[in-house]
């Protein structure tokens, strides 16, 4: 097979391989040659990635079928270092993969493919199956996943809630300090509704693997897992048990002031003042005409920056927030402008896209400081 196709497939499935896994077979890549396909698979038990290369589409030449699991680290390195363009895999000895390319030849000891987690269906039919625009799915994941919790004090908060109803898929994540929510309209359908929670880390890997933004991704929800299929790629994730908290009551429905500012300009100012933000606290000070950002670190110094306001409704205000969280949100958003809604000194600051019909929303809880 062509080195380029092989390197790409191995790179993709390796995202799910945990080299230091206590289960030896999970430090490997599963390779299966069937009559007309070569399948590669990597898994860390929570996330499984499968790439299927078709004989005709990839100009493969299959002589014999077989399957094996080989250590991911060595397989990747050897394939990358081979200088020929065409690479041959042979499984003529049991539990041994022979790799040949021009003058080079390697033999890698393998592991039993029976021990590798299977992606075959135990349940004959998924509970729910629908298709979604890949570009919109990636954008929503980028907006929402960063707001999930890192620590697993409450495991359900390390995930992103997928709330699928008859017309839409709503993604939501919150770590208790910030919240992000985005909705994709899927068109009406008559199937059942469902809410699941997917580990944010797995969605992040999925998002990086999805390439064809203008195509659709198929989503299949099963009892304890979800599967995404796009072209040659299948990504399956375990689900997080437990109910995702209902958070609609924390979203303010009124506000005291609203600003419109250039998104990248605000992001750059936040990056600049964050350099000296002790405990990550940055202060926002909205007055007529401009939004001032500032931070200080005791005994080191302070930074001030200023962003012009495009529009302002309501009164001047002052609020302190976690600078990293603010930057994460601004980076996840698209569009030239962003709206900031101030509700009150102790209420979350709301970030919204300029487009008032956009179903995307971010909340960030303020930090109380002594000096106001």
Residues that bind its own copies (CB under 8 A): 71, 74, 77-78, 81-83, 96, 103-109, 268-269, 271-272, 275-276, 299-307
Could you tell me if 273 and 306 are in contact, meaning their C-beta atoms sit under 8 angstroms apart?
Answer: no
In the complex, the smallest distance separating the C-beta of residue 314 from its own copies, rounded to whole angstroms, is 23
Could you tell me if 95 and 117 are in contact, meaning their C-beta atoms sit under 8 angstroms apart?
Answer: no
Nearest CB to its own copies, comparing residues 37 and 305: 305
In the complex, the smallest distance separating the C-beta of residue 272 from its own copies, rounded to whole angstroms, is 4
Angle, CA of 299, 300 and 305, to the nearest 5°? 125
Three-class SS of residue 181?
strand
Three-class SS of residue 272?
helix
Nearest CB to its own copies, comparing residues 127 and 276: 276
CA 108/CA 75 separation, integer angstroms: 8
In the complex, the smallest distance separating the C-beta of residue 106 from its own copies, rounded to whole angstroms, is 4
In the complex, the smallest distance separating the C-beta of residue 73 from its own copies, rounded to whole angstroms, is 9
Nearest CB to its own copies, comparing residues 55 and 271: 271
Phi, psi of 277 (to 5 degrees): -85, 100
CA 353/CA 332 separation, integer angstroms: 11
In the complex, the smallest distance separating the C-beta of residue 18 from its own copies, rounded to whole angstroms, is 18
Three-class SS of residue 206?
helix
Q: Count CB-CB contacts under 10 A for residue 138.
A: 19
Nearest CB to its own copies, comparing residues 1 and 180: 1
Q: 248: Cβ–Cβ under 8 A, 6 or more apart, which residues? A: none
Write out the two tokens for 315: 């009164």
CA 113/CA 30 separation, integer angstroms: 7
Nearest CB to its own copies, comparing residues 6 and 221: 6
In the complex, the smallest distance separating the C-beta of residue 110 from its own copies, rounded to whole angstroms, is 9
């Amino acid at each position: 097979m062509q080195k380029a196709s092989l390197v790409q497939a191995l790179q993709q499935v390796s995202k799910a391989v945990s080299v230091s896994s206590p289960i030896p077979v999970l430090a490997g890549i599963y390779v299966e040659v069937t009559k007309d396909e070569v399948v590669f698979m990597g898994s860390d038990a929570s996330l499984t990635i499968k790439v299927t290369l078709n004989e005709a589409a990839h100009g493969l030449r299959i002589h014999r079928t077989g399957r094996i699991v080989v250590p991911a680290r060595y397989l990747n390195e050897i394939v990358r270092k081979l200088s020929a363009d065409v690479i041959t895999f042979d499984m003529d000895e049991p539990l041994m993969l022979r790799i040949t390319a021009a003058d080079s030849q390697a033999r890698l000891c393998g592991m039993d493919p029976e021990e590798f987690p299977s992606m075959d269906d135990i349940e004959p039919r998924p509970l729910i199956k629908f298709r979604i625009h890949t570009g919109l799915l990636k954008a929503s994941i980028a907006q929402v996943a960063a707001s999930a919790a890192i620590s697993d004090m409450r495991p359900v908060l390390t995930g992103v809630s997928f709330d699928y109803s008859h017309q839409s898929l709503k993604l939501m994540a919150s770590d208790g300090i910030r919240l992000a929510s985005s909705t994709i309209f899927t068109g009406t359908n008559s199937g059942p509704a469902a809410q699941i929670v997917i580990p944010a880390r797995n969605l992040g890997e999925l998002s990086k693997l999805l390439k064809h933004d203008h195509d659709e991704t198929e989503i299949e929800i099963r009892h304890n897992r979800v599967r995404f299929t796009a072209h040659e790629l299948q990504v399956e994730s375990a689900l997080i048990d437990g109910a995702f908290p209902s958070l609609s009551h924390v979203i303010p429905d009124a506000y005291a002031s609203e600003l419109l500012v250039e998104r990248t300009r605000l992001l750059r100012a936040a990056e600049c003042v964050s350099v000296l933000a002790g405990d990550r606290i940055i202060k926002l000070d909205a007055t007529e005409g401009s939004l001032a950002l500032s931070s200080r670190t005791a005994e080191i110094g302070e930074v001030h920056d200023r962003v012009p306001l495009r529009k302002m409704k309501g009164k001047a205000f002052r609020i302190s927030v976690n600078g990293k969280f603010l930057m994460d949100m601004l980076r996840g958003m698209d569009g030239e402008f962003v709206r900031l809604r101030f509700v009150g000194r102790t209420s979350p600051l709301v970030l919204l896209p300029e487009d008032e019909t956009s179903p995307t929303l971010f909340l960030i809880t303020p930090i109380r400081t002594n000096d106001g």
